[in-house]
Amino acid sequence: MNFEKIDICDVNDSFVRLIRDDWALLTAGEKGNYNTMTVSWGMLGELWGKDVVTVFVRPQRYTYEFMEKYDNFTLSFFGSEYRRALSFCGSKSGRDFDKAEECGLTAFETGESVAFEEAKLIIACRKTAFADMDPSKFIAPEIEDNYSNGDYHRVYIGEITEVCKKINRSGTSV
């Protein structure tokens, strides 16, 4: 694996563009017992004096079980050539498929969780807090349009513990 550790402030891409346009794989668990799902909602920032990310997981998602059980998770970002794989991982359940195998992705342990060798950027996190979306707190009524089944997300805040960027064989960033 050809990754170099970098500071989150040295990520050259806009996080909004990465999460909104490129999507990411949210992965929790350990090698041999993990699940991954595509996410296109998320936030990055500073909270409680720590660099953090915030991710949103609906309770019926298989990944939810892993987010509840394990203290760490990763966000893996890919190039556009992996769009089909991310579409698959966002529409199929890990209960029914080995998503990594189906998509030709190579899982590896990074710190206390799992990420993918094919990623161009990996953000590893330790859960610090969670909260359940409460529709009684929605101010903008159109937010409810995202929850026609009443399946409100659990919001996880994770302290960033490591950021790794893919480098090519010559040692330059991809």
- Kindly report, residue by residue over 72-88, the tens digit of the pLDDT: 999 999 999 999 999 98
- Residue 87 domain-assigned? yes
CB atoms within 10 A of CB 12: 8
- Residue 171 domain-assigned? no
pLDDT bracket for residue 70 (50, 70, 90) = very high
| Distance, CA of 25 to CA of 23 (rounded, Å) | 7
- Residue 173 domain-assigned? no
Amino acid at 93: S
- Residue 7 domain-assigned? yes
- Residue 174 domain-assigned? no
Burial of 138 (0-12, 13-18, 19+ CB in 10 A): middle
> Containing domain of residue 80, as a range?
3-166
| Distance, CA of 102 to CA of 95 (rounded, Å) | 13
- Residue 38 domain-assigned? yes
Stated pTM of the model: 0.93
- Kindly report, residue by residue over 100-150, the tens digit of the pLDDT: 998 999 999 988 999 999 999 999 999 999 999 999 999 999 999 999 999
Number of structural domains found in the chain: 1
- Residue 121 domain-assigned? yes
The predicted structure's pLDDT at residue 172: 62
Q: CA 124, 130, 132, 138: dihedral to nearest 10 degrees?
A: -90
How large is the average pLDDT for residues 15-29? 94
The answer to whether 27 and 45 are in contact (CB under 8 A) is no
Q: What is the CATH number of the domain that holds 154?
A: 2.30.110.10
For residue 20, is pLDDT > 70? Answer: yes
The answer to whether 38 and 87 are in contact (CB under 8 A) is yes
pLDDT bracket for residue 174 (50, 70, 90) = low
Q: Long-range contacts made by residues 115-118, C-beta under 8 angstroms, separation at least 24?
A: 115/27, 115/74, 115/76, 115/164, 116/25, 116/27, 116/36, 116/76, 116/78, 117/1, 118/78, 118/82
% the chain with pLDDT above 70: 96
